[in-house]
Amino acid sequence: MNNRPDYRDICEAAMRLKDKSIYTAVLSSPKINEQVGSEVFFKCENQQHIGAFKFRGAYNAIIQLSDLQKKNGVIAFSSGNHAQAVARVCQMLDIKATIIMPNNAPDIKRRGTEILGANIIEYDPLTENRETIAQQVNADNRLSLIPPFNHPHIIAGQGTAAYELASDVKNLDQLLAPCGGGGLLSGTALAVKGLQENCAVIGVEPEMADDATQSFQQGKIITIDYPDTIADGTQTLSLGEITFGLIQSHVDDMVTVSEAMIKEAVRLLFYNLKQVVEPSGALGLAALLERKTPPANRVGVIISGGNIDGKMMQKILAEPSIT
Amino acid sequence: MNNRPDYRDICEAAMRLKDKSIYTAVLSSPKINEQVGSEVFFKCENQQHIGAFKFRGAYNAIIQLSDLQKKNGVIAFSSGNHAQAVARVCQMLDIKATIIMPNNAPDIKRRGTEILGANIIEYDPLTENRETIAQQVNADNRLSLIPPFNHPHIIAGQGTAAYELASDVKNLDQLLAPCGGGGLLSGTALAVKGLQENCAVIGVEPEMADDATQSFQQGKIITIDYPDTIADGTQTLSLGEITFGLIQSHVDDMVTVSEAMIKEAVRLLFYNLKQVVEPSGALGLAALLERKTPPANRVGVIISGGNIDGKMMQKILAEPSIT
């Protein structure tokens, strides 16, 4: 495999993940269908191991390490779902995982990673540089770095969610996926174009974190300041080189949604689909509610994850409906 | 079929419901498994049409009406999930549904039933008798009454959730189902004993609504006063004759759980399974958390539904964990 994965890599990742990842349910709601005017098929990656699609990429990357690399262990930087995904895969495969995490990471995420047996090394993001920490921890370069999105094995793994959806639900006109660093979106595009070439793939970002939309429109990678969005899974500052290239060549369009509509989508998924969905996972439905995408009969939506804390959900449920 | 359904009726109901009901997912959580000391398989009927298992029984009953009965329409008394289930089935089959509902029914449930096209007739439960209302509405006796639980077709339909679970997950030691009027529990027992005869079937009630537990222990139907439990799906005052007989002969034990542990179970299902579950649906997990059932390696749990309003979920999430 060269640096840029293709459809065959998605198929191979799907074979590797068979019986390892959860083959997540596809759910629909007549009420949501009526409200948005399309038949919508939600792929529920909130039901995936560790509550997010990130498990898929981490597994597909770590399982392909050499025996020596597996014996030496892996390292990752993350305060979020990627950390838990790497920790969970390493727990399954009996590999030593070291996670470099800022000391201001939410306690729930730190504990979620710790409980999976990972060795957590904290740093102070205000005074310390995480690359320096990593160099100290990995001075002899024995640990294999598992990047969060800009890696062909990660991208191929993330694409298997859409591979399952587009295998099970035929004749999709449109498929919507959230976009942070672009691993999920680029993998999704490869999978969908391989299975249903006439299905449009559209990436969705919060208005507050529209670096990928800007990059897509301007034809170059745009970096933004740390974005203040409720959708914390999309707070990445820029796409990677590989994900950007794939998005340019395989994604049909990028759209943005308001913070208010992201919260409305979380509420509708709670009431109608009975699913706990984190704000990033609700971006696709938010785009449909805001009519940001062309009219379509059959729409697939990737619900990327469900790791939302109770306080956040209380706050969202307490707000009145806006649709 | 006589009045008392058997395992074959469950199998036939499963055939009728194929491609009509949702074949709901079975989910597990390593964290919950660790906490309760068993491998637990949750059958997610919160993902069923109208957000509860009730769709299964209503469909299995209404589809077996004669053509003339279907043409004349059906009638049901309910302010809850049964009303929505009957309305939804009638919508699918193009049958006229009349629902008699108290005027103090929660607005969300009234609207949920109305939106499905049912004709709702309200009565004042303080001054009017619902049987009188029904006699007025159905003076010529043309409408077919669809009872909520004490009917062989309803029981057989409800049993198909456990039929799917026990078909998919082998070697279960124990299966837990909530108990209101006993339709779900008795159908579950028939299904499980037919598929895995060594699996113990245990019914779970709130301590505050323990009429079925009392009935099971005393060998006769006990009626209680209107119980003040958060698990509104189990507020039935007594079992029916058919459900009581089946529970006596096919259920291994009945246990009760505290209100505090029901809420804890709702929280754990929110955080670990990412599922929106109503208090009644969390009874099985509550029994495991309270160690009310004998130790077991592999346990099936029926999550009966997810129709919880936002305010109730906010309140439950705001309380601290007790485990």
Would you call A107 an interface residue with chain B, using a CB distance cutoff of 8 Å? Answer: no
Please enumerate in sequence order all residues whose Cβ is within 8 A of that of B319, keeping only pairs 6 or more positions apart, or say none: B263, B267
Q: What is the mean pLDDT of residues B78-100?
A: 94
Nearest to B314 by CA among A313, A278, A230: A313
Average pLDDT in chain B:
95
Residue type at B141 in one-letter notation? N
Chain B residues near residue A313 by CB distance under 8 angstroms: 270, 313-314, 317
Would you call A275 an interface residue with chain B, using a CB distance cutoff of 8 Å? Answer: yes
Would you call B21 an interface residue with chain A, using a CB distance cutoff of 8 Å? Answer: no
Q: How confident is the model at residue B2, as a pLDDT?
A: 61
Q: What is the mean pLDDT of residues B100-113?
A: 83
CATH of the domain at A128: 3.40.50.1100
Would you call A187 an interface residue with chain B, using a CB distance cutoff of 8 Å? Answer: no
Q: How confident is the model at residue A66, as a pLDDT?
A: 98
User: Are A240 and A181 in the same domain?
Assistant: yes
Residue A323 is assigned to a structural domain of this protein:
no
Would you call A51 an interface residue with chain B, using a CB distance cutoff of 8 Å? Answer: yes
Last residue of a domain, one of A92, A119, A145: A145
CB contact under 8 A, A274 and B274: no
Q: How many domains does chain B have?
A: 2
Residue B323 is assigned to a structural domain of this protein:
no
Q: How confident is the model at residue A2, as a pLDDT?
A: 61
Q: Which residues of chain A have pLDDT under 50?
A: 1
User: Are A202 and A174 in the same domain?
Assistant: yes
What is the rounded distance in angstroms from the CA atom of residue B309 to the CA atom of residue A133? 47
Q: Residue A18's domain spans which residues?
A: 7-52+152-318
What tens digit of pLDDT does each residue of B212-251 get?
Answer: 999 999 999 999 998 899 998 898 899 999 999 999 999 9
Which CA distances in Å does A69 have to A89, A146, B169? 14, 12, 36
Q: Chain A: give the shortest CA distance to residue B260, in Å.
A: 17
Q: How confident is the model at residue A129, as a pLDDT?
A: 81
What is the rounded distance in angstroms from the CA atom of residue B261 to the CA atom of residue A236? 39
User: Are B130 and B161 in the same domain?
Assistant: no
Would you call B277 an interface residue with chain A, using a CB distance cutoff of 8 Å? Answer: yes
Residue B140 is assigned to a structural domain of this protein:
yes
What residue has token string 């909130």?
Answer: A46
Q: Is A196 left (phi over 0), alpha (psi -120 to 50) or beta?
A: beta
Query: CA-nearest residue of chain A to B277?
Result: A274
Question: Contact, A302 vs A43, CB < 8 A?
Answer: yes
What is the rounded distance in angstroms from the CA atom of residue A51 to the CA atom of residue A87? 13
Q: What percentage of chain B exceeds 90 in pLDDT?
A: 84
User: Are B64 and B200 in the same domain?
Assistant: no
Q: Chain A: give the shortest CA distance to residue B256, in Å.
A: 26
What tens digit of pLDDT does each residue of B241-299 get?
Answer: 999 999 999 999 999 999 999 999 999 999 999 999 999 999 999 999 999 999 999 99
Query: CA-nearest residue of chain B to A313?
Result: B314
The helix (run of H) or strand (run of E) holding residue A253 is strand A253-257
The three-state secondary structure class of A52 is strand
User: Are A160 and A247 in the same domain?
Assistant: yes
Smallest Cβ–Cβ distance between B314 and the set A46, A274, A314 belongs to: A314
User: Are B311 and B234 in the same domain?
Assistant: yes
Chain A residues near residue B306 by CB distance under 8 angstroms: 274
Ordered DSSP codes for A159-191: HHHHHHHHHHS-S-SEEEEE-SSSHHHHHHHHH
User: Are A204 and A288 in the same domain?
Assistant: yes
Between these two residues, B176 and A78, which has the higher pLDDT value? Answer: B176
User: Are A157 and A71 in the same domain?
Assistant: no
Chain A residues near residue B275 by CB distance under 8 angstroms: 274-276
Residue B88 is assigned to a structural domain of this protein:
yes
The three-state secondary structure class of B224 is coil
Inter-chain contacts counted by CB atoms under 8 A, chains A and B: 55
CB contact under 8 A, B274 and A276: yes
User: Are B65 and B214 in the same domain?
Assistant: no
Q: Which long-range contacts (CB under 8 A, 24 or more apart) does B309-315 make?
A: B309/B106, B309/B108, B310/A267, B310/A270, B310/A271, B310/A317, B310/A318, B311/A317, B312/B230, B312/B279, B313/A270, B313/A313, B313/A314, B313/A317, B313/B266, B313/B270, B313/B276, B314/A313, B314/A314, B314/A317, B314/A318
User: Are B74 and B160 in the same domain?
Assistant: no
CB contact under 8 A, B267 and A310: yes
What is the rounded distance in angstroms from the CA atom of residue A154 to the CA atom of residue B257? 45
Q: How confident is the model at residue B1, as a pLDDT?
A: 47
Which CA distances in Å does A112 have to A79, A107, A108, A116? 10, 8, 6, 7
Chain B residues near residue A47 by CB distance under 8 angstroms: 25, 27, 273-274
Q: How confident is the model at residue A59, as a pLDDT?
A: 98
Residue B1 is assigned to a structural domain of this protein:
no
Query: CA-nearest residue of chain B to A305?
Result: B274
**Is pLDDT of B108 > 80?**
no
Under the banding of pLDDT at 50, 70 and 90, the label for residue B89 is very high
Would you call B312 an interface residue with chain A, using a CB distance cutoff of 8 Å? Answer: no
User: Are B221 and B299 in the same domain?
Assistant: yes
Q: What is the ipTM of this complex?
A: 0.93
Under the banding of pLDDT at 50, 70 and 90, the label for residue B3 is confident
Smallest Cβ–Cβ distance between B47 and the set A27, A310, A313 belongs to: A27
What tens digit of pLDDT does each residue of A113-126 get?
Answer: 998 999 999 988 88
Would you call B81 an interface residue with chain A, using a CB distance cutoff of 8 Å? Answer: no
Smallest Cβ–Cβ distance between A274 and the set B47, B271, B310 belongs to: B47
Residue A78 is assigned to a structural domain of this protein:
yes
Smallest Cβ–Cβ distance between A47 and the set B51, B274, B317 belongs to: B274
Residue B213 is assigned to a structural domain of this protein:
yes
Last residue of a domain, one of A130, A145, A160: A145
Query: CA-nearest residue of chain A to B278?
Result: A274
Query: CA-nearest residue of chain A to B273?
Result: A47
The helix (run of H) or strand (run of E) holding residue A73 is none
Last residue of a domain, one of A117, A145, A173: A145
Residue A225 is assigned to a structural domain of this protein:
yes
**Token pair of B35 as six digits:** 């906490």
User: Are A252 and A174 in the same domain?
Assistant: yes
What is the rounded distance in angstroms from the CA atom of residue A296 to the CA atom of residue A38? 6
